[in-house]
Chains A and B, each alone.
Chain A
Amino acid sequence: METLVIIDQPPYGSWTGREALDMAFALAAFDQTASLLFSGAGVNWLRNRQITDAIGQKSVEKNLSAAPVFGISAILADASACRRYGLGPQDLPDGVVLTEMDAKLLARYSHTVFAG
């Protein structure tokens, strides 16, 4: 029984990504195995040096760095979406695993949910 939470929305423009992250953290906090997959424009969550003072929101970088503390099983990023948005393996935070989002990947999870 493992849940995959897919975030395909970019950070800051809406709250849907944060809500999905909270859901993944809540699952993990209650010992339900959960992983995160960033796909589409959602891969922009993974950029470093997000300076958010001027937009009045907290950086999602910090939220995401709490994932190991909550016991998130894995943080995955769709490789083709990373290429589209100019993110190389060296740009991603430690522990993020590049993968291809396809039927084979989704077959590994008993539950899959999307942000928003």
Chain B
Amino acid sequence: MTAFHTLHILNKTPDHPRFSECLGTLGTDDALILTENGVLALATEINLKTSRIYALTPDVEARGMAGTTRNSILVDYPEMVDLTLQAQRVISW
């Protein structure tokens, strides 16, 4: 895993206004981690605007999404902590 500028922690569904606001501010050096209801975006065809997409495994499994993770990298809680340390800054949407 390489270092990146901003880690966006997104826990909102695509139906929440903050979801679009988050995607609107994603930079090319940024990473996105989907948590809680945010993982539901993986069931849609929405363009997530970055190739560095992570998703939190417990939230993916809870929502019956284990077979629908698109091109995301599944991480557990300790790996999520590592991601926050690799980022220069973190935005919790």
- B21-71 with Cβ < 8 A to chain A: 36-37, 40, 43-45, 57-59, 61-66, 68
Give how many A residues have a beta carbon under 8 Å from the other chain's beta carbons. Answer: 23
Given the known inter-chain contacts A86-B44, A86-B68, please indicate yes or no for A41 contacting B62, CB distance below 8 A. no
State whether A13 touches B11 (Cβ < 8 A): yes
Which secondary structure dominates where chain B touches chain A? loop
Chain A residues near B14 (CB-CB < 8 A):
41, 84
Give how many B residues have a beta carbon under 8 Å from the other chain's beta carbons. Answer: 20
State whether B40 touches A10 (Cβ < 8 A): yes
CB distance from A46 to the nearest CB of B (A): 9
Tell me which of A8, A11, A86 contacts B63 (CB under 8 A).
A11
Chain A residues near B64 (CB-CB < 8 A):
44, 47-51, 61
Measured CA separation A8–B45 after assembly (Å): 19
Flag whether A71 is at the interface (Cβ < 8 A).
Answer: no
Given the known inter-chain contacts A13-B11, A49-B66, A86-B68, please indicate yes or no for A44 contacting B61, CB distance below 8 A. no
Q: Using a CB–CB distance below 8 Å, which chain B residues touch chain A? A: 11, 13-15, 36-37, 40, 43-45, 57-59, 61-66, 68
Known: A44-B43, A54-B57. 11 other contacts (CB 8 A): A12-B37, A12-B63, A40-B15, A44-B64, A47-B63, A49-B66, A52-B61, A52-B62, A54-B61, A86-B45, A87-B43
Please name 5 pairs of A and B residues whose Cβ atoms are closer than 8 Å in the assembled complex, sorted by A: A41-B37, A47-B65, A52-B62, A61-B64, A86-B45
Q: Using a CB–CB distance below 8 Å, which chain A residues touch chain B? A: 8, 10-13, 40-41, 44, 47-52, 54-55, 57, 59, 61, 84-87
